[in-house]
Amino acid sequence: MTMFVRNLVLVALSVFPLCVSASWKLDNNQSQLRFLSVKNNSVVEQHTFKQLEGTITDKGTVQLILDLSSVDTQIPIRDERMKTMLFNVADFPKAMLEGEVDVSGLEDLKAGETLTQQVSFKLNLHGAINPVNADLRITRLVDDTLMITTQSPVVIDAKAFGMDKGIMALQEVAKLNGILPSVPVFVSLAFVPASS
């Protein structure tokens, strides 16, 4: 009888592998967060953060943490200026994004399938917390990794986070005519099963 029950459980798990609640953790090596800056009204430059952490719980709670000191603009002096003048990493070393996704939709996904979700997040940046909305595309890969990407850029208003003085400081030190405070952000985030 015990062997029968064991076999029944194994069969059930093989047929319905995604019905069991799961949680995921961010794989930094497979993930990327890019943001664009526009200077002198026409020059667009792309930047990234090298260090990201994140989780999705079995309840659908999402948390993403950015190490602001890992900003990478491909120009070392500009990296340092962003850290000190814009982000002020001495006082605000990290940014945190929190929200909820529909976990039932995630569990129903089979390998290769994709769904879209509109998610409202709270972004804690530079000592201020503001809402951020994102249109996400979520794809389950064959190894149960969830690949989450933005369908359109998430636009962050630096002024809403009290960073306008930092922008002005960057503008002055680099002798620029202007830097736009609206920053488009794009993400491609890989979440692997937490048990892996």
* Closest alpha carbon to 179 in 38, 43, 72, 85: 38
Q: Quick check: 132 pLDDT over 60? A: yes
* 20-193 under CATH 2.40.128.110, yes or no: yes
pLDDT at residue 22 in the model: 72
CA distance 191 to 140: 10
- Count other Cβ atoms within 10 Å, centred on residue 171: 16
Question: Binning pLDDT at 50, 70 and 90, where does residue 8 land?
Answer: very low
Burial class (CB in 10 A: 0-12, 13-18, 19+), 153: middle
pLDDT at residue 196 in the model: 60
Domain residue spans of the chain: 20-193
Q: What is the mean pLDDT of the chain?
A: 89
Q: C-alpha angle with apex 174: 172 to 178, nearest 5 degrees?
A: 60
* Closest alpha carbon to 33 in 13, 52, 59: 52
Given a contact cutoff of 8 angstroms between Cβ atoms, the answer to whether 41 and 178 are in contact is yes
pTM: 0.84
pLDDT tens by residue, 139-167: 999 988 999 999 999 999 999 999 999 99
